[in-house]
Each structure stands twice: as C-alpha cells, then as structure tokens.
Structure 1
Amino acid sequence: MSVVQVSGVGGAMLLGAMSPGPDFVIVMRNAMLSGRRAGVASAAGVALGVFVWAVLSGLGVAGLLAASAVAFTVVKLAGAVYLCYLGVRALLAARRGVYEVVPEGVSSDPVGVRAGFGQGLANNLLNPKAAVFFVALLPQFLPAAPTFADTAEVALTAVVVTAAWFVVLAVGIATLRGVFTRRRVRRVIDAAMGSLLVGLGVRIALQSN
C-alpha cells in the first residue's frame, strides 16, 4: 500500500472511531468508573473487533452479512439486546446508588480487565453497521484481486488507528477518575450512560439494513 492509501484508511477509521457510538460509550464509561486499565482493555477489545471485521470484509464474509437481511437482522438484534443489557445494569446501579467508597489513587476495578476487554470486543462484533462500514471502506483501498498481505495491511492500519484513539480517550478520561467515582457523580454518570446505551440499543434494533 502507498502512503496515500494508508493515510486514507487511517483517516476514515479515525473519523469512524471518533464518532459517538456504542464503542465510544463503552470505553468512556469503563475508563470513568473502573479506571485506566479497564478503559484500555475495552479499547483493545474494540480494536480486535475492528481487526476481525476488516479480515472478514477482505475475505468477502462481511459483504455476505451486509447483503443478507436475515443475518443482518440476527446480528443487529443481538447487538441491540447486549447494549440494552449493559444500559439496564447501569440504570439499576444508579437507582440503588450503593457504591463502594474507593480511596483516592486506588482502583477497585469493578469491571475488571477481562470484562472490559470482553465488553469492547462483543460490542464491536455485535454491531452489523461495522460490517457495512468495512464493506464500503475496503474496496476503495484494495486492488481488484487483493492478496492476503493487502487485506492484512488494511486490517492492521485500521486496528492501529482505532486502538490509538481509544487508548488516548481511555487514559485521558481515567485521569479524572477521582471526580467521576464520587457517589453523586457516579449516579449521574450511570444514569446518563445507561440511558444512552439503552437508546443506542433501541436505535440499532429499529435501523434497517
């Protein structure tokens, strides 16, 4: 790939990653309430999901998903249910308002690295719009008969850009965790993020192919 192609893929991925959406919300919430490690783990999960979608797109699998109304609907509804599940959990936590008091500088890590990574990965893989995005993106930067190396290069570029953005986002937000984990502030965050996740889930469920 030329420098122009790499820049094109990187620019498109950066704009997609920076757009507010399910991945953005998951990374931001985990970094706010669980700290830097959980936020970075969520970013890594999202990046792995992007790699999977990029490879599947290069192999033509994502195109089949995007073209199949049944497959698209199944993935769409699974993603919507998952987002609503996470959102309802946050809303219930906000309603209870019972949080562990964590000393300044100490991380209780309620989400955990594994859970954060799993949330980021599942959230990205269960978003059928990611398949549509890559089906539209990859052909613009790949030759008519792409080799495995061509596909891998595009996939790695997408992963590096996505991971870099979300890691910067997670680390930046985590620096203010002392404010975000105060009980009153956390209830507001849980209520807001929970409502946003449920809203995103409903929106995805209602979207057409």
Structure 2
Amino acid sequence: MYFPDLTSYWIEFAAIATLHFFAVASPGPDFAVVLKQSISYGRRSAMYTSVGVGAGILVHVAYSLLGIGILIKTTPWLFQVFAYAAAAYLAYLGWGAIRSKPQPINIDEVEKTNRSPDAAITNKKSFLIGFVTNGLNPKATLFFLTVFAVAVSPQTPIQVKLIYGIYLAIATGLWFCFLSYLMGGTKLRSLLQRHGYIFDRIMGVILILLAANLIFNT
C-alpha cells in the first residue's frame, strides 16, 4: 500500500492547525455544553463530554473524505436540515437547563459527585452529549467545508487528509479536556454551585440563543 511522504505537507498542516486553533477557541455550542456538564455534573462528566466532542469531529472527517461535504455545500436544503437538527438539540438541552431548580449542596457532595461512578449522569450519556453536539454542529460543518475546499489541496492524498482529521479530533478533545480540568475543580465548582440553578438557567438561555442563531442565520 502506497503511503505518501508527509514532509511535503507540513505547510498545509500548519495552516489547518492554525485555523483549527482559532475555530475551537471561539465560544460555541461545544464550549457551552462542556461548560454546563462541568458545572452541573463535575470534571469526570465534562471529560467524557469533551472526548465525545473530539469523536464528533470524525463525523465531519468521514463525510469530507467521502465527498459528501461537496453534496452538503451544493445542496442548501441539506445543510438546513443539519442546522435545524442541531438547533433542536441545543434547544432541548437549553430547556432542560432552564428548568433547573435550587438544591442544597456542599463541598463534600461535590467531591463525591466527581469521584462516584454512580453520579447523576453516566459516562456513556456524557460522551453522547458531546458527540451529538459536535456531530450536528453547523459551525464544525462550515469549518470542514472551508478547510477541505481552501486549505487542503485537491492533490493531497486521502491518507494525508485522514491524518489531518485524526489530528483535529484529538486536538479538539484535548482542548476541551483541558478546559474541563480547569472548570471542574472542586473549589471552583463548589463556588459556582452555591447558586448553581441560576448558572444552569443562564447556560440554558445561552444554548437556546445559539439554537435561534442557527435557525435565523441558516
């Protein structure tokens, strides 16, 4: 099996990595969901959600490599379906957060939630929340359509494009895991959870606004 010399693609890779850094660092649905998971359920849940976000990148890599990205780009109604599905999911998460109610909490309970495998949300569900959020994220779709149409040469072998995609998935997951680690600290989380239901409601409003933004800008 032929495998191309990667040394000739460093400039292309550097351009992709730079674009990705600015894209992943800008606030969006992925950041909002990871932040909510971190405060609501703790560092462990946020980590699994972050891994799910990174894995969701592979969805965009797959359709880009299969040429489906071109179909999406040239079929406006199909892109709208993606956008509306993402908006509905974000609105669903936002509505659940808005309905959050006050509940007593102390630092011991926070620590128990961070450690316990029987916490309020399973690892699988946390992962799926991140995976679905990114997989349906039109922002990620636009990023990949742009990258594979502009930054990546049509002559770049599919093996190299696959390496790019794997890098983007890993880098995205690591970035959000890092944020999860910072935001999921017991002291910070305890401080925020003193009025956690207010924070949840604010995050709920933000998620619904993101959903509305997707609808009105699609």
TM-score (norm 2): 0.86
Whether the 8 Å CA contact 1:57–1:131 is kept in 2: the answer is: no
1:68 pairs with 2:75: yes
Distance 1:104 1:46 in 2: 24
Unaligned 5+ runs, structure 1: none
The offset of 1:178, in angstroms, is 2.1
Alignment partner, residue 205 of structure 1: 215
1:192 pairs with 2:199: no
Matched residue type, 2:22:
L
Alignment partner, residue 143 of structure 2: 133
Deviation above 4 Å: which 4+ runs of structure 1? 99-102
Q: Which moved more, 1:17-26 or 1:3-12?
A: 3-12
Alignment partner, residue 33 of structure 1: 40
Unaligned 5+ runs, structure 2: 1-5
Distance 2:54 2:104 in 1: 30
| SS of structure 1 residue aligned to 2:14 | helix
The offset of 1:66, in angstroms, is 2.6
The offset of 1:165, in angstroms, is 0.9
Whether the 8 Å CA contact 1:63–1:132 is kept in 2: the answer is: no
Specify which of 47, 58, 61 is matched with residue 51 of structure 1.
Answer: 58
Alignment partner, residue 158 of structure 1: 168
Whether the 8 Å CA contact 1:63–1:131 is kept in 2: the answer is: no
Whether the 8 Å CA contact 1:34–1:112 is kept in 2: the answer is: no
1:6 pairs with 2:13: yes
Whether the 8 Å CA contact 1:22–1:123 is kept in 2: the answer is: yes
Specify which of 123, 129, 145 is matched with residue 119 of structure 1.
Answer: 129
% same residue: 25
Whether the 8 Å CA contact 2:93–2:207 is kept in 1: the answer is: yes
Tell me how many residue pairs correspond in the alignment: 204
Distance 1:3 1:160 in 2: 18
Whether the 8 Å CA contact 1:48–1:159 is kept in 2: the answer is: yes
1:74-121 per-position Cα deviation (integer Å, ceiling 9, x unaligned): 11111111111110100011xx32466662421163233211111111
Whether the 8 Å CA contact 1:14–1:165 is kept in 2: the answer is: no
Matched residue type, 1:180:
L
Rg: which structure is higher? 2
Whether the 8 Å CA contact 2:87–2:211 is kept in 1: the answer is: yes
The offset of 1:125, in angstroms, is 1.4
Whether the 8 Å CA contact 2:82–2:138 is kept in 1: the answer is: yes
| SS of structure 1 residue aligned to 2:155 | coil
Distance 1:103 1:112 in 2: 17
Structure 1 residues 83 and 197: CA distance shift in structure 2, 3 A: same
Matched residue type, 2:208:
V
Distance 2:204 2:31 in 1: 13
Distance 1:99 1:117 in 2: 27
Specify which of 184, 189, 213 is matched with residue 177 of structure 1.
Answer: 189
